[in-house]
Structure formats: structure tokens, C-alpha cells
A = this chain, B = another copy of it.
Amino acid sequence: MPEGREKKTGDVSGRTIGRLSLYRRLLTDLARDKIKNVFSHQMAELTGGTAAQVRRDMMAIGYNGSPVHGYDVAELIVSIDDFLDAPQGTRMCLVGVGNLGRAILSFFAGRRPKLAVVAAFDSNPEKTGRVIAGCRCYPIEDLARVVAAERITVGVLAVPPEAALGMADRLAAAGIKGIANFSPLPLRAPAEVYVEDIDITMSLEKVAYYARQGTVREEKLS
């Protein structure tokens, strides 16, 4: 291993990545309330985990707290930013401007500068050409061109199920590196594309199931 520091990412579990995202939002709230330090058991309380788990997650990103003051809120936010965010930010596109797509757009509009939806695509000509929640909407035909021009690396797939597979292929072909798939069937994508399936129907059926059995306890984080 001749030159350069090997970045020690990739050996961190997906669960931990998810929790880091959660911790960061929590810490941002704490910082807004002018809270300077926080203990693992407090973070656990607020995020619904255990203190030991919080400490393990801190280990994963190599952040060290102090036994006296716990974790420094501002420092920890920076550490998580460094770990999670691409330095230049991540540029995403939305495919499928339906209700769900619009919900995602308006949710992210201007929120987190490092994670921006910079283009949307739809097959319906009534939607293309317009600007929705601050995001230009293009026809599907322009996908490859815009993805390349805008240096987009992540696609958010919110199209009807029957269109999902085809669109995933187009995204992969356009050089996208990750897909968030909201359609209710798992995608089979080329190995170099990371796919996260967010299956809302499944989640609701799960809730319905457990709501019926009185006795079962909370299951964390979708």
C-alpha cells in the first residue's frame, strides 16, 4: 500500500450509518438549544437506543469523547459530517414527480446543502419544463444528458411499479452510483449500484400485523 492514507470507510455497518444520520439531526437540535456537551446515555434516550450502542457508533467513526464531559456537540457534528458527507456534496435526481416525489422534493428543498435534489424527471409532458419546489423538471429522454451534465450520483425512484425496473436500468446506464427505490418491489441492479429499497406498503403491513398482536414491542428504524 504505497502512497496516501487509506480512508477507513466501508467497514461500517449500514445500521450504524443510519444511526449516524439520526444522531446528527439530534445534535443539530441540541446545538440550536446551545447545549455544548452530551453523554452517551442522553443520546441513547433521545434516539431510542442504548448507551453502549451510541458508544460503539462513536468508535466506528473514530470520535473520542471525554469521560468528564461526554461528547462535544459541535465537534461531534463535524466528525459525523466528515464521515457521512461527500466533501463536494451529493447531487441527486428524482425520477417520477407524483405525490410521493413532490413530498420528497419539498422536504429537501434547501434543507441540507450537502444533499440536494438538482433535477427531476417525468414522462408526463404536463410536468416537464416546469420548476417544482425549486427543481427543474425534465422529460425522461433527457435523463442521461442531465445526469452527466449535473454530475448527479444518486437517483430517487418514485415511479409506478411497472415503470420502476426500466427506470432503474436507465439510471444505472447513466452512471448513477446509488438508487433510493420507493417502488414496492426490490430492484435488481448491477453490482456497482447501491440500492436501498424503501417499501412503504411493507412498512404499513408490518404495523398492521403488530397492531393486531397486542403484546409485541417496538422495532427500531425501518
User: Which A residues lie at the B interface, using CB under 8 A?
Assistant: 9-10, 14, 17-18, 21-22, 25-26, 47-48, 84-86, 90, 92, 98-100, 102-104, 106-108, 115, 153-154, 156, 176-180, 184-189, 191-192, 194-222
Contact = CB atoms under 8 A, between A and B. Distances in A.
B208 A90 contact: yes
A193 to B, nearest CB: 8
Contacts of A22: 185-186, 199, 202
A116 to B, nearest CB: 10
A44 to B, nearest CB: 11
Contacts of A195: 218
B222 A194 contact: no
Given A47-B186, A102-B99, A202-B21, A177 B218 contact: no
A215 B106 contact: no
Contact of A208 (B98, B102, B115): B115
A216 B201 contact: no
Top 6 A-B residue pairs of the complex, sorted by shortest distance between their CB atoms: A178-B211, A99-B103, A177-B211, A100-B103, A194-B210, A90-B208
- Listed residue (A90, A198, A222) with the most chain B CB atoms within 10 angstroms of its CB: A222
Contact of A48 (B90, B104, B186, B222): B186
